[in-house]
Amino acid sequence: MHLILAGRRDPSLPITSYRAKNQVSEVRLFDLRFTSDETAAYLQTVLGEHIIEDIAAILAERADGWITGLRLAVLAMRKYDNVVSKLLELKGTTGHLKEYLISEVMDAQPSAVRHWLLSTCILNRFTAPLCDALWAPDSERGEGVIDGAAFIAKLQKDNLFLIALDMENCWFRYHHMFQNLLQSLLKLRCSPEEIAELHSRAGEWYAKYNFIEEAIQHKLGAGDVNGAIQLFEQNRQLMLNSNRWYVFEKWLPMFPNDVLQQQPELMLAQTWVLYFQYQHALIPPILDSVDSLLGDDPKNQSLYGEIYLFKGVNCFMQGDFHSLENIERALKRIPVANHMVRGFAEIYIGLAGQMQGQKDRVVHALSDLLINQPLEVSRKLRILTSLVWISGTL
């Protein structure tokens, strides 16, 4: 087997040892830099003219072998008659060249395209309807009015650092370096309020079409913390019911820690992640914090159901006979619609009942549910799992 890894930093592997044993082939930054010959070949291809060796060497050194820089330079200078001469006039460090070149590329675009480039650089992926959603309802589109589809078509035609993410040419992203440079320009040319408004429109569009992770990210980018929390809460049970608890691993780190510590539903989502990561010892302090945040409001009963459930699970793992009592309290509070959580509780009510010498009672209760109640498939499977475990224990 040949394992290929690509990344911006070394993986957590014993690279030095592999290198000493000749068990690894490495392609490093130095290997990726364009030589003068490669620079000449590239420029001849895109410019259609012969590039002498000395000039190619100078240009390769100026760009530090950075092909994206060369490509940006060609895009920026192609408006001049003698592109090579203009390329030779470029001076400064690679970092300064990046900023200068992207500015030149931007200034060569029609105003509508410049607007699109700056507006969409906040997006890690985009599609034509999403681009359209970023236009302010009362904004002027300026010269060469185009919509999102026409904008994407122009980027493809001009080969302007656009990468297709699917075979249907529906979703796209920018080359990461190009996106970073655009974002730098966005901060220079737009106010924080204007940038926040872009994030707000993106967040609304993503939420409308159920791209929840991106919606949360952009609502937070817009400073709409409450909106992001609400979106998380609206989708938490949906993710649990579809056994997609693992998405919380991506959603939760987007929230500032001080926000996370004040939101019961976010903290309960954290308990599910910790449970399935087998970090059970970290759960009780979180349950105590959630308990202290909740009031006596009836709408919090389902959340108390999850608290009692995890308290019962913790008791079961410690051999504490309060396990069954806590899980029965949980089932009184967990809504039927939360079928993953109920099924999870029904697994443990069987195990806790068997542990406390009440095997016959819990088997009868679970069997009655299985036979006489219209249950969702995953909940049925959890009840069957509990019955199998109990029956296998003498």
- Burial (CB count <10 Å: 0-12, 13-18, 19+), residue 301: middle
Q: How many CA atoms lie within 13 A of 361 on its CB side?
A: 10
Query: What is the CATH number for 314?
Result: 1.25.40
| Phi-psi sector, 90: left (phi>0), alpha (psi -120 to 50), beta | beta
**CA-CA-CA-CA torsion for 75, 79, 82, 85, nearest 10 degrees?**
-50
Closest CA to 331 of 350, 311, 309, 358: 309
**Domain presence at residue 311:** yes
Sequential pLDDT tens for the chain (394 residues): 888 888 766 788 888 888 888 888 888 766 777 888 888 888 778 777 777 777 778 777 766 677 777 777 777 666 667 767 766 665 554 455 566 656 667 777 888 888 899 999 999 999 999 999 998 665 555 555 788 999 999 888 877 778 889 888 899 998 777 788 888 889 988 999 999 999 999 999 999 999 999 999 999 999 999 999 999 999 999 999 999 999 999 999 999 999 999 999 999 999 999 999 999 999 999 999 999 998 777 778 999 999 999 999 999 988 888 889 999 999 999 998 999 999 889 888 888 888 888 888 888 888 888 888 888 888 888 888 888 888 765 4
Distance CA 284, CA 190 (A): 46
**Domain presence at residue 77:** yes
The domain boundary, picked from 76, 107, 138, lies at: 107
Closest CA to 380 of 338, 339, 349: 339
**Domain presence at residue 75:** yes
The domain boundary, picked from 87, 107, 127, lies at: 107
| Strand ranges, E, within the chain | 162-164, 172-174
Number of domains in the chain: 2
The domain boundary, picked from 74, 107, 140, lies at: 107
**Domain presence at residue 330:** yes
Domain that holds residue 42: 31-107
- Burial (CB count <10 Å: 0-12, 13-18, 19+), residue 228: buried
**pLDDT, tens only, 153-167:** 988 887 777 888 988
**Domain presence at residue 46:** yes
**Domain presence at residue 327:** yes
| The pLDDT of residue 93 | 45
Q: List the structure tokens of 164.
A: 């297709």
- Burial (CB count <10 Å: 0-12, 13-18, 19+), residue 292: exposed
Distance CA 327, CA 272 (A): 16
**Domain presence at residue 215:** no
Q: Which residue in the block uniquely carries the two structure tokens 């991106």?
A: 214
Q: What is this structure's pTM?
A: 0.73
Distance CA 169, CA 362 (A): 55
**Domain presence at residue 190:** no
